[in-house]
């Protein structure tokens, strides 16, 4: 096949692992407010932890791509959507357990990323234009509001794109809708000399 490495030269023949099963740990009660210590049996590992061994072969004979789990496929170049069995499993998990009642046609959709910061950076690329102080008019600079105490890596992801990131005050329930420093106050007193009004909001609450 054009452009694809020969799987015969992949340096792994099989992949084997011992996977812990859910009953290895005893859950901490929801009403607990004190983190359990290592000696606390609420979080203790059982005497004989259950585990399941898995073996990923070099090549699978399965014809269904969603069931074809082997190193020849996993280590090969794939589609932008991601490894089909992994994508299918995570999407099914999202539909059945995270968003079973989402009103979209065909349910929730997912995007595989390398983590939250990578996903957030991709979102910024999709929803904002890059702005540079020595090249672009200030009126073209785009803005984003976020909580005053936010995940720093997410805020830093907006800086290289030239986004005007403005903090909004919070309380114990999250971003303030009104009051001093709240969302309404920030928007009503938006400084247009720093760029246009925001069309993006980053919040974790």
Domain boundaries, given as residue ranges, for the chain: 7-74, 130-202
Mention every residue, 6+ apart, whose C-beta is less than 8 A from residue 33: none
**pLDDT at residue 46, as a whole number:** 42
Range from 22-26, 41-45, 100-104 that averages highest in pLDDT: 100-104
Kindly tell me if the per-residue pLDDT of 33 is higher than 70: no
Q: What is the mean predicted confidence (pLDDT) over 113-124?
A: 89
- The string of pLDDT tens digits covering residues 44-73 is 444 446 678 889 999 998 888 888 899 998
Tokens of 24: 């290895």
- Residue 48 confidence (pLDDT): 47
Strand 200-202 with 170-171, pairing: unpaired
């Amino acid at each position: 096949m054009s452009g694809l490495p020969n799987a015969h030269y992949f340096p792994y023949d099989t992949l084997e692992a011992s996977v812990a099963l859910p009953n290895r740990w005893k859950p901490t009660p929801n009403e607990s407010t004190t983190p359990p210590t290592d000696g606390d049996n609420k979080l203790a590992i059982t005497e004989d932890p259950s585990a399941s061994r898995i073996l990923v072969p070099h090549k699978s004979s399965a014809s269904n791509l969603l069931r074809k789990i082997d190193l020849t496929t996993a280590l090969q170049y794939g589609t932008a959507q991601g490894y089909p069995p992994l994508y299918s499993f995570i999407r099914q998990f999202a539909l059945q357990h995270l968003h079973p009642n989402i009103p979209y046609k065909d349910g929730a959709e997912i995007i595989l990323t390398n983590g939250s910061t990578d996903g957030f950076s991709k979102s910024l690329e999709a929803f904002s234009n890059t702005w540079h102080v020595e090249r672009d008019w200030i009126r073209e600079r785009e803005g984003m509001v976020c909580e005053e105490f936010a995940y720093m890596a997410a805020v830093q992801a907006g800086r290289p794109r030239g986004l005007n990131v403005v903090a909004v005050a919070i309380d114990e329930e999250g971003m303030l809708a009104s009051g001093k420093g709240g969302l309404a106050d920030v928007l009503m007193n938006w400084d247009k000399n720093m760029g246009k009004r925001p069309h993006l909001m980053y919040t974790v609450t």
